[in-house]
Chain A
Amino acid sequence: MTDPHGHGQIKLQYQPALPIPNGKLFLWLFLSTEIMFFAALIGVYIVIRFGAPDWPGPSKMHLVELIGAANTLVLILSSVTVVLALDAAQKDNASLARLWIAATFLLGGLFLGIKVFEYKSKFSHGIYPALPHSRMYEKPDVYFASAVRERLRVLYARIDADRAEIASKKTNLLAGPQTEDVQRQIKDLDDRDKVLADKKAEYEQAVGPVAGDANASAHALMELSKRIYPVHDEHEKNAEGEAEHESIGLNDKYPELKLPFVVTGGNMWATTYFTMTGFHALHVLAGLVAFVLLLFKRLDRTRAGIVENVGLYWHFVDLVWIFLFPLLYLF
């Protein structure tokens, strides 16, 4: 059943319109559909982004342009290696072709690795594609305030629990015989207790009373949000140079706080960023799978067609990134 010609019928002759193998034609048609898919994603991004009353700049979202640029270079290199692999395959140099494919695979893997690193750094700042995980709020409103309160409650409760545990340990120790060792332990506990107490005081001091106040004024909430995550003023930046306003927010100062923060437009930023790079990354992944399959084959002249098709696909993935990079990192 696998061989359509295996049943003894005659092999029919055809009159193809285009001087290319079916596989290659298929691939180009497939790429047309892919172009439309990404056009839709990018179109949506454009509408949402430019239709948004506010949109955070890349730096606000911990997006490092240099990393993006580096990733662009990685993909460009991988495009070259694929082309060289095809060249080698067409020259019937199977081992060289395999080498280049392996190189492409590694570069693709490197790209994904960098992507994972970037994603991680977003996650660690509480930036997720969508609400349930994301700690980002659109405006310093009551929802934001109550989220901060809730987060502080959890934090304080944890500290209080730790302190309570220390206290109970201490009572236990006090109840027993007071050897020197025990004395030392008690002192130890006291120290730890003090550290915790100080920490809590420090937090309370840093976050301020606003967070605890359910009826805090809009202005106070704005101040709070600025304290947690200072707003860079882009115009100011230009005038004074880079270093001036590296004012550090509470989340950066105390990474363990993980307080909710406010970035207007930030959630849509994250949604579009993760969707577009995510779908692109899926395409990279599919390409990597194809390369692995190729690595198991002898890439001589007879397989040059396959290498070419996979290569075309890979270049397309590169093409998409060529547009995503400026749109996401530099706009």
Chain B
Amino acid sequence: MAAIPHAHDDAHAHAHEHGREMSLGKFLTTYVFSFDHKVIGLQFLFSTLIWFSVGGLLALGVRWQLAWPWTKMPIVGDLFFSSTGGQISPEFYTMLFTMHASIMIFFVIIPILAGAFGNFLIPLMIGAEDMAFPVLNMMSYWFMWPAFLCMIASFFVEGGASAAGWTGYPPLSSVHSAAPASHTGQTLWVMGLIFVGVSSMMGSVNYMTTIIQMRAPGMTMFRMPMTIWGMFITAILQAFALPVLTAALFMQLMDRTIGTSYFIPEGLIVNGAPAGSGGGQPLLWQHLFWFYSHPAVYIMILPAMGMVSDMISTFARKPLFGYKPMIYSIAGIAGLGFIVWGHHMFMSGMSPWLGTTFMVSTIMIALPSAIKVFNWLATIWAARIQYTTAMLFALSFVSLFIIGGLSGIFMAATPVDIFIHDTYFIVAHIHYVLFGGSAMGIFGGIYFWFPKMFGRMMNEFWGKVHFFLTFIFFNGTFYPMHILGAAGFPRRLADPYHYETFQHLLPMNQFITVCAIGMGASQIILAANMIYSLLKGPKCGRNPWHANSLEWTAPSPPGHGNFDFQPVVYRGPYEYASPLVDDDYFPQTRPPVEGEDKLAHH
């Protein structure tokens, strides 16, 4: 293998030539309709960050209503709700959290992990020049646009966007007369999700093929970085789970448009009007939806877990503890993830016997997560931790995921779920795993790979300020929600203070809202830092973090075709502090040194 020549054809200089004389056609093919996985990855990154701010602002609307119900929204009130005197109407509140969650999940976390980081990193980290099917890859990005347009349009159609919750439970979502306000909006929501699904399908099959077939010589499956493992297993999850959601979405679409009644039982009189011919079953949607959406929550965390593993090992300057157990536990989470969906339906009226079954599998899924947590902790044990911003975000992932995961155990316990289901306990859980977990991992990933993406470093000082504020405000926002949940405070209520039982919780909600506004404001630092660094940040070399994995041997940013030499891999990605070499890192491509085979662990 070592005989393969390191052909130094300078793709580096090549990439720069591109920049100079740029015709419109060339601009379009390079930056817009590009087949290059890196460009596509960045397209995903910027699109999703914009959606992130949209989703976040919607959340602030939710928070406003909960802290100061039925009062005039400052600034935006007059703009958007002039008809109600600047205050949020109950219809609009329903729409706010529905679109908040739909956007955050389907337009931010999933596409940023799989689309942005997956696209950018997979070929680079396995030593491929591009994805296996570049055209398909491009289409997977451009199929997001019809979805984007559906979502944007849905805000402007009469009655506003979808208001049936991000779970879109029928009959509320499929009978027009049940939610007269979101007539077209809900249909657009369904269509948007179908497009996202098609896009993800294209991506996932492409990723699988690429990872299976296009690894550099020597890059065995058990030498792949955890990021790649996370992406790989995620792609498998997508491939098996998404078609089911797509089928369900088509059915809801038909229920809404041509008048079938897949999810509408017979004899419904909704809002005075008979609904459909009947014969359907509302619970069926929940089964199909969660058959996708439970695996989807792991789709949203596994790549982040992979990225966090890489960051932790890199900045702990120590091999990842228990590489193989880490892989097996990801696989275990994925496998078990398919048989636990019923835990969202404990109270749904499904057979209580089934509830017991799902309870057991759900509880057991904590096991692989536990293994991961312990291995991360063991990785930073006896390490030499470098406190970069990326590392701080990665560590905060561990810290916050533990909280989010442990709250999952409460809900997995069926009797306890009787009380906390659909309370803010769930909302706390959601945000600890999705923001504290996935989004923190994503922030870390941005700080970590930004140099590779753009060839410039991000500002570390402001990065740390961003981290500090986000961490504080995050906990300030979402930790008290556990208490709200324990008090039974129901979610999705425009005005919970309607009930005497919950009136004393208003001050706590006000505290939460203040923190939420702070958290939103902190993200401006990230945006500013990104934009500033993009233009003015200090240039960096190929390997600013002294990391091992393959992407750091390519130029920053990598040119077309990624590598200017044939990468050959001799070892796993986590050989930090190896006694064999003087440096504290030992890149995967460095030729073997004497005695290495004796020390080899894998």
Contact = CB atoms under 8 A, between A and B. Distances in A.
Asked if A pairs with B, the answer is yes
Interface of A: 1, 4-5, 7-18, 22, 25-26, 29-30, 32-34, 36-37, 39-41, 44, 47-48, 51-52, 129-132, 134, 136-138, 143, 265, 267-268, 271, 275
B551 interface: no
B209 A15 contact: no
B258 A132 contact: yes
Contact of A30 (B205, B220, B561): B205
B239 A33 contact: yes
Nearest to B5: A10
13 contacts: A1-B29, A5-B561, A7-B14, A9-B559, A9-B564, A10-B563, A14-B128, A16-B212, A25-B213, A129-B260, A130-B261, A131-B260, A271-B262
A265 B266 CA distance: 10
Nearest to B291: A40
A134 B206 CA distance: 42
B130 A4 contact: yes
B277 A138 contact: yes
Contact of A9 (B4, B9, B266): B9
A53 B354 CA distance: 22
Given A4-B35, A22-B209, A52-B279, 17 more contacts: A8-B9, A9-B129, A12-B566, A15-B217, A16-B215, A18-B213, A22-B213, A25-B213, A26-B133, A29-B205, A37-B243, A130-B260, A130-B277, A268-B261, A271-B262, A275-B250, A275-B260
Contacts of A37: 243-244, 246-247
B239 to A, nearest CB: 5
B561 A16 contact: no
A137 B267 CA distance: 12
Interface string B151-168: 000000000000000000
B218 A15 contact: yes
Contacts of A5: 129, 561
Contacts of A22: 132-133, 209, 213-214
B247 A14 contact: no
A130 B206 CA distance: 37
B375 to A, nearest CB: 25
B544 interface: no
B277 A131 contact: yes
Given A15-B219, A18-B213, A271 B561 contact: no
B288 interface: yes
Contacts of A132: 258-259
A26 B209 contact: yes
B530 interface: no
B450 interface: no
Interface in B219-274: 219-221, 239-244, 246-248, 250-251, 254, 258-262, 266, 274
The 5 closest A-B pairs by CB, nearest first: A9-B561, A268-B279, A40-B247, A37-B243, A130-B259
A130 B114 CA distance: 38
Contacts of B239: 29, 32-33, 36
A23 B214 CA distance: 13
Contacts of A275: 250-251, 254, 260
B11 to A, nearest CB: 5
Q: Among the interface residues A25, A33, A37, which one has the most CB atoms of the partner chain B within 10 A?
A: A33
B247 A267 contact: no
Given A22-B132, A36-B244, A40-B243, A14 B213 contact: yes
Contact of A130 (B218, B220, B242, B254): B254
A268 B258 contact: no
A9 B216 contact: no
Contacts of A17: 212-213, 215, 221
A4 B288 contact: no
Contacts of B7: 10
Interface residues of B, number: 65
A10 B133 CA distance: 18
A48 B262 contact: yes
B258 A129 contact: yes
B572 to A, nearest CB: 15
B555 to A, nearest CB: 12
Contacts of B9: 8-10
Nearest to B205: A29
Nearest to A14: B214
Contact of B288 (A30, A40, A52, A129): A40
A26 B239 CA distance: 12
B348 to A, nearest CB: 15
B243 A34 contact: yes
Contacts of A138: 266, 277-279
Given A131-B259, A271-B260, A9 B251 contact: no
A266 to B, nearest CB: 9
Contacts of B258: 129-130, 132
Contacts of A40: 243-244, 247-248, 288, 291
Nearest to B245: A40
B77 interface: no
A174 B504 CA distance: 90
B284 interface: yes
A39 B244 CA distance: 8
B208 interface: yes
B261 A271 contact: yes
Contacts of A271: 254, 260-262, 279
Nearest to B274: A143
Contact of B4 (A13, A26, A44, A129): A13
A16 B100 CA distance: 42
A12 B127 contact: yes
B280 interface: yes
Contact of B128 (A10, A12, A44): A12
Nearest to B201: A33
A331 B66 CA distance: 54
A93 B538 CA distance: 62
B277 A134 contact: yes
A131 B255 CA distance: 10
B177 interface: no
Contacts of B266: 138
Contacts of B244: 36-37, 39-40
A131 B276 contact: yes
B545 interface: no
Contacts of B502: none
Contacts of A134: 277
Contacts of B563: 9-10, 12
B510 interface: no
B212 A25 contact: yes
Among B11, B128, B258, B291, chain A packs the most CB atoms within 10 A around the CB of B258
Nearest to A264: B279
B284 to A, nearest CB: 6
Nearest to A42: B247
A14 B35 contact: no
Contact of B277 (A7, A32, A267): A267
A276 B286 CA distance: 20
Nearest to B241: A36
Contacts of A16: 212-215
B260 A44 contact: no
Contacts of B218: 15
Contact of B242 (A1, A4, A25, A33): A33
A30 B243 CA distance: 10
